[in-house]
Amino acid sequence: METIKLDQIEKIYGRGASETKALSGINFTADAGELVSITGPSGSGKSTFLKLIGGILSPTSGELTINGQNYNQMTRAHQSQFRLDQLGFILQSYNLVPYLTVREQFELVGRVKPKHNLAPAEFKELCSALAIGDLMNDYPDQLSGGQQQRVAIARAMYPNPSIILADEPTAALDGKRAVQIMEIFQKIAHHQNKTVLLITHDSRLIKYVDRNYQIVDGHGQFVSKNDQSLV
């Protein structure tokens, strides 16, 4: 089932002399159950691409459809609720709240989105798969980078979104931890039928994804996983 569709998307920042065309003629689709990497040189438009799918930015032109719903036709309030219900974000910087314990990070999500989160048994299973069950009373600065990232992944999964958007989630991790995180993303996509998009600069991780979408100078195309020249 197609969960994400971008049709002739263009994104221009600024106006006049300061105008920057970040994306142009972008056509992209992803299905439920797929792990897709987004690669390309620095400044090519990868973050802009992910932010458009996440509804954080609006396209200048083109059609963006997520789970059959056209973003352009939603009100702002509907967009916010849609984001909460359908999308999980994982960022390089983890974005854990420093003064909350791991348990409280999840309670905070529960306050923002009280319904349709993982049931207690599912949550326990997720925490055990990510090996964070014993960290519930710890604060972020008591955790290693890998532990913080696994908590951030669990936090993104807790509202049970159908789509996970990750911006360089392994950048701060050593090779072994990065592979562990990729294996977790594979499980999330393949066993839980979610769509996972992740930006990466690490060519060693491409072998874990199902497809690779490469963006160069604002233009994108799916390329063979073996062609990693522009990662």
Ligand X SMILES: Nc1ncnc2c1ncn2[C@@H]1O[C@H](COP(=O)(O)OP(=O)(O)OP(=O)(O)O)[C@@H](O)[C@H]1O
Which of 3, 6, 46, 52 binds ligand X (CB under 6 A)? It is: 46
Task: Match 């702002």 to its residue by tokens.
Answer: 76
118 exposure class (CB count in 10 Å sphere: 0-12, 13-18, 19+): middle
Binding to ligand X by residue 48, rule CB under 6 A?
A: yes
Q: Choose, by CB under 6 A, the member of 37, 44, 147, 170 that binds ligand X.
A: 44
Contact pick of 13, 110, 144, 191 for ligand X (by CB under 6 A): 13
Cβ–Cβ under 8 Å, residues 41 and 32:
no
Using the rule CB under 6 A, give the single segment among 44-52, 71-79, 144-152, 173-181 that binds ligand X.
44-52
Nearest distance from C-beta of residue 22 to ligand X, angstroms: 4
Given candidates 4, 6, 9, 22, which one binds ligand X under the rule CB under 6 A?
A: 22
| Strand intervals (E) in 121-223 | 163-167, 195-199, 211-216, 219-223
In the DSSP assignment, the letter for residue 221 is: E
Find out whether 169 and 90 touch, Cβ atoms under 8 Å.
yes
Residue (39 or 86) nearer to ligand X, CB: 39
Q: How far is the CB of 64 from ligand X (least distance, A)?
A: 16
Beta strands in 77-200 (DSSP E): 87-91, 163-167, 195-199
Nearer to ligand X among residue 132 and residue 198 (C-beta): 198
Helix and strand numbers, DSSP H then E, in the chain: 6, 10
Dihedral-angle region of residue 27 (phi above 0 means left; psi in -120 to 50 means alpha; beta otherwise): beta
When asked if residue 20 is in the footprint of ligand X (CB under 6 A), the reply is yes
Q: How far is the CB of 144 from ligand X (least distance, A)?
A: 24
Q: How far is the CB of 21 from ligand X (least distance, A)?
A: 8
d(C-alpha 21, C-alpha 30), whole Å: 24
Q: At its nearest, how many Å lie between ligand X and the CB of residue 61?
A: 16
Position 25 contacts ligand X (CB under 6 A): no
CA distance linking residue 203 with residue 213, whole number of Å: 13
Among 15, 16, 17, 42, binds ligand X (CB under 6 A): 42
Pick one of 30, 40, 66, 157: the residue that binds ligand X (CB under 6 A).
40
Torsion angles phi and psi, residue 90, rounded to 5? -130, 125
Residues between 151 and 170 that touch ligand X (CB under 6 A): none
Binding site for ligand X (CB under 6 A): 13-14, 20, 22, 40, 42-48
